[in-house]
Amino acid sequence: MLPVQGQEYSLLMLSSIRKRRFHKRNTLHKKNIPGDMLFVVTQGRGILCIDNQAIPIKPNQSFYIAGSNPIEVMLESDFIEFYLLVIRRVTFSKKKGSWHCANAASDPSLFQTGKLQLKQGKQHLESIEQLYEECRSRSVKELSIQLKFQTLIQEMPGEVLEPIELEDASKGIDQSITYMYKHFSHKIKLETLSDIAGLTPTSYSRSFKKAKNMSPVEYLNHIRIDASKELLQQDDPSIKDISSAVGFGNEFYFSRMFKNSFGISPTMYIKRKQLKVAVASCFRFQDCLRDLGVEDTYELNGYQHLELGIEENKRRIEVQLAELRDCRPELIIADYRHLPIYNQLKLIAPTVMVDFSMDWRAYFMRIAELVGREKEAQQTFSQLDLRVKFTKDALMDKVGLQSVSVIRLYSQKIRVQGLVDHPLSHLLYTELGLKPGSCVPLNVRTREFAVEVMPTFDTDFLLIDKRLTSLEEANLYTNMFKGTSWDAMKAVQNNQVRVIPNWISMSWAPSGQNQILDDLLQWHA
């Protein structure tokens, strides 16, 4: 169909695409958007507030937001990661044989503000991820990016299903949470919240507990605690005034709730940047502190070495505890593996046990919060993301579609690193996009084989973590190279076997991840 003279034609253009991550739980984030926007959640949970409507958000969901109205995001998880696609509407018209282009206001007939119920949500997310990577690449031209964006937009109307109405109870609970965020500094009665939700107080409490795994009062206290953190960072803060400003009133109750929630008292929080910090960790907490510019006073590692036996391991920990006590730390940051000695640690100094997670970034950010280095942590994430992008592009030229596998000798067995559930796996196979060998387990962290029945690993590159803790393991390591399975491996035949340092442990800290990237680049230079 030929264009009609003088008629205007609308077109949506991609103005920018950004990938963002917020780390503050139970905090209200406000964002002003200059125009229409596509908001795509990849990780985390929370509530998106648009035009006073509370909409629960979770991974693989997309929202179209028309106009330039501000949005509010309230986190319920430790962090949320999402893509923001800012969209500009333009009009084209043909007048007197010439084409004219002009900016235009939002067109509500194209998409309505709200959640997009997509049939192919995962495929939609993959398209946006690819678009984001191409926008970051200097080799991809602007025209190509806009054409791919047009394909994405054109597919969306056919993918949108009829809107799904939330259950009245769930919708009411989300509305009451929005009220909490906006009025937490005042006294809030349970009856007020239940009225907003359209439920009786008893039914509301029961429904809230089922939906959020905590009571309304606990949820409200979390919001107040997080709001108090901002105030505690001001010059010459008054704990009494702050407790009143965030709705607690009683400063002693506030202090107790703050410590229960965050791990340290408000007084310690105020001076957290100057504290003498020690660690009790098997997950490189000491490296995380150094990456944040903090030197720890002592590093206790209570890892249980199987070859040493129960008594020797116990003696090692007692020696380390004595040395830790002599260092007189003001704060101890410990991981879950040191829970058995928690009572001994807290007799030395206030001790924070960091919740276990296979997300190293969650560990790193939690440590950063405890020592007042949140900005430094965000800068570290940004710098590491750039290095990962650079390394991924470089490896794609050198490695291409060749497969990579990681193994180590552990407790007299061959342990193969899996595709999931570990920082090293996430770095290699997700962030760098390396292809796993056929021996790599897809849905578990590791898989073990006896050395004598080691299968032939079908992999182009074989990376071996050679940490030998006993003579017996050294002999097993030597015998591993003598079997027919070893000689039959593609990586062995093509001289593509590499001995690596302790990548599995190093991957828990930014400096370790940077070293892994350096090693990969050096091998394939």
For the stretch 312-338, pLDDT in tens is 888 999 999 999 999 999 999 999 999
Conformational region of residue 114, where left means phi above 0, alpha means psi within -120 to 50, and beta covers everything else: left
Note whether 272-372 and 383-522 share their fold.
Answer: yes
The strand pairing partners of 461, in sequence order, are 404
Q: Which residues of the chain have pLDDT under 70?
A: 1-9, 24-34, 51-52, 67-70, 94-97, 99-112, 119-121, 137-139, 156-170, 305-307, 411, 467-477, 479-484, 524-525
- Give the burial class of 70: count Cβ atoms within 10 A of its Cβ; 0-12 exposed, 13-18 middle, 19 or more buried: exposed
Integer CA distances (angstroms), 206 to 46, 76, 201, 327, in order: 20, 18, 9, 48
Under CATH, which number does the domain 272-372 receive? 3.40.50.1980
β 331-334/277-280 pair status: parallel
Structural domain 166-269, CATH architecture = Orthogonal Bundle (1.10)
Helices 201-212 and 190-197: crossing angle in degrees, nearest 10, is: 80
- Tell the CATH superfamily of the 7-155 domain: Regulatory protein AraC (2.60.120.280)
Instruction: Write the pLDDT tens digit of every residue in 261-319.
Output: 899 999 999 999 999 999 999 999 999 999 999 998 999 998 876 667 788 888 999 99
Conformational region of residue 201, where left means phi above 0, alpha means psi within -120 to 50, and beta covers everything else: alpha
Task: Give the SS3 label for residue 71.
Answer: strand
Class of domain 383-522: alpha beta
Q: Of 264, 230, 190, which is closest to residue 29 (Cα–Cα)?
A: 230
Nearest-angstrom CA–CA distance, 162 and 116: 9
CB 502 within 8 A of CB 465: yes
Query: How is the chain split into domains, by residue range?
Result: 7-155, 166-269, 272-372, 383-522
Q: Of 303, 294, 279, 272, which is closest to residue 511 (Cα–Cα)?
A: 294
Nearest-angstrom CA–CA distance, 393 and 416: 26
E-state strands within 228-301: 277-280, 299-300
The structure's pTM equals: 0.79
